Chain A
Amino acid sequence: MGIAPTPGLPQVIPARAGLSAVRSARGPEKPNYLAAILFLAPAGILLVVFLLYPAIYTVLLSFNRGRNGVFGEWVGLDNYIRLFSDPDFLNLGTFPPSGALWNNVLWIVFYTSIVIFLGLIIAVVAARVRYESMIKAIVFIPMAIAATALAVIWKFVYSPDANIGLLNAVLGTIGVSPISWLGDERIVNFALIGVGIWGSVGFATVILSAAVKSIPAEIIESARVEGASERQVFFRIILPMVSLPISVLAVTLVVNVIKLFDLIYVMTFGGPGKASRVIAFTMYQQAFQAGQYGYGSAVAVVMLVVLVPIMVFNVRRFRTKAVT
């Protein structure tokens, strides 16, 4: 899954030192404008030209027809109205609901919870055996691999031909006839989410393993001496003590889902039909295949808006974090 998170990863890396550390960090007594400008100019220019300006441009373009990517005909909220009345984007009128945005919801619910669940299980259980580092390395390998390669690996596993696809071959031995994992619109999203989980559990395991190991040994020892069962140790001590890393991890995974693209593009191209589209796929498809730049901008803005609360959360958390 790429190193999955990447630009999404950041917030999993909580500040080792918050802003108070900035204040305590010493520069010379007087502000040094010249040095500040010289050191910050390359980053500042790039951020303004390639990030800030485009973001503002895209927000404005989302209120425009945006032919050829330039401002022409202003259409107000038209793009947004079309977007949210497009059943391929969000259709709450059926049961189960469907559409790209709904698929992101499915991903958030199942991918996030199962990745955390498996990551925690592996972190805790593997800590009891001698080959712990090997198990962690094995589940971590997919993190190093491109989503494009994961897609090929799993398209192969999911092949409807039982002579090629391992999954259908295994099911065949117990008499189940081959299933078209990626060709059935009721199944495809869950098949994809399965690949996403496979790709990200290693990340969760490494994060949670570090968190579990940071629990002071005496606490667990004394609980065991007091006669706590392993189950009680897990639910009463380990789980509460890793709840913060879990929440940070959950946020990272949600960001991952909102930015999810490569895997869908390579494995199903949003299909069959439009069944497995997600929001980032819709943005790409509308802008670059349908050539609807204003409409595509509106989709990008929806992505941005969904991420804003997490941005605010990050900034506030960082701001209030004391130096540790």
Chain B
Amino acid sequence: MSGGVLAEPLAGSRPHTPAGRIVATLNRSAVHVVLGLIGVVWLVPTIGLFVTSFRPRSDIQATGWWDIVQLHLTLDNYRQVLEAQGMLQAFVNTVFIAVPSTLLPLAICALAAYAFSWIRFPMRDTLFLIVIAFLLVPVQVAFIPLLTMFRDLVPDLQLTRNYGAIWLAHTAFALPFGIFLLRNFFITLPPDMIEAARMDGAGDMKIFSQIIVPVSVPAIAAYGIFQFLWVWNDLLMALVFVQDSSKFPMTRAIQNLLSQYGTEWHLLAAGAFLLMIVPLIVFFSLQRYFVQGLLAGSIK
């Protein structure tokens, strides 16, 4: 595509002898073979599970999914996993967990990032370096104290029985990265724009909500998508902070399926695809933001 010169050696350096041309063609074919192989290795495992999710249980036990001679397709697996295995409820639970765990950090990070970029106050640099240091604190160091705190300090709130604990935990651990990312975007906005607004008497809240946020939509969206998928895909935090089985997200529901019916591939395959469908839709429809989120402010 935009491979520039990397796409192809210069015309002048192309071999002119017949033997040279053969070597060049072989090289070309080698490139296609290698890339084709990579494509196969990265697609086939997922396709295999996808096909399996539509095959009847008896077929799965009898032949491999690649045996397309006797291919019967059915939606029964999905029906069964959604209804009998409670995956529909788990899907709804995942949404309940993921939406607030995305919106809360977005709002809080944007506010803090604004302060770190456009409000003057003492120790600003030091505080920001502390936020950067927090980036790597593993969630494991918070598990025991947070559970103890929820249990002993605010027992009436039942935070691990409802979604309170997991919302708070996801939000807190999203902050360092979110603040870092958004601050690095806000800092690149033209100072004149903000100065002009200040001259006109706009306060910080007005500058933030009417200037900074509107022009930062791409960065905020990239971070939002990133955080949403992170929460959607998370298992560990849900294991620790969601203790009511009727509120389990899909990752936990699939883990349960696996420990109960380890070889019932018709259920596992359908369950896994229900878990994957939202991230795949997000990935294919918002690929640009998604990759930007990953590369944000990155190695240019």
**A interface list, Cβ under 8 A from B:** 2-3, 5-17, 19, 21-23, 25-33, 35-36, 38-40, 42-44, 46-47, 49-55, 57-59, 61, 66, 68-70, 121-122, 124-133, 135, 137-149, 151-157, 162-164, 166, 169, 198, 201-203, 206-207, 210-214, 217, 220-221, 224-225, 227, 230, 244-245, 248, 255, 258-259, 261-262, 265-266, 280, 283-284, 287-288, 293, 296-297, 299-301, 303-304, 307, 310-311, 314-315, 318-319, 324
Contact = CB atoms under 8 A, between A and B. Distances in A.
Chain B's interface size range is 35 or more
A144 B269 contact: no
B42 A138 contact: yes
B275 A22 contact: no
B294 interface: yes
10 contacts: A28-B120, A47-B175, A66-B144, A124-B6, A144-B282, A146-B232, A146-B276, A149-B273, A164-B265, A225-B12
Contacts, number: 406
Contacts of A198: 41-42, 45
Contact of A132 (B1, B52, B146, B176): B1
B121 A31 contact: yes
B100 interface: no
A142 B129 contact: no
- Most chain A beta-carbon neighbours within 10 Å: one of B62, B146, B275: B146
A55 to B, nearest CB: 5
B87 interface: no
A276 B129 CA distance: 36
Contacts of B251: 146, 148, 262
Given A16-B184, A144-B229, A144-B283, A166 B234 contact: no
Given A14-B299, A39-B204, A25 B254 contact: no
A201 B121 CA distance: 42
Given A152-B272, A311-B135, 9 more contacts: A42-B112, A128-B7, A152-B49, A156-B269, A166-B44, A213-B2, A262-B236, A303-B138, A314-B136
B138 A70 contact: no
Q: Tell me the interface secondary structure of chain B in the complex.
A: helix
Nearest to A24: B191
Contact of A310 (B62, B136, B271): B136
A224 B18 CA distance: 21
A224 B13 contact: yes
A211 to B, nearest CB: 5
Contact of B187 (A17, A139, A217): A17
Nearest to B34: A125
A307 B7 CA distance: 39
Given A15-B297, A130-B1, A146-B233, A50 B142 contact: yes
Interface in B26-45: 31-32, 34-35, 38-39, 41-45
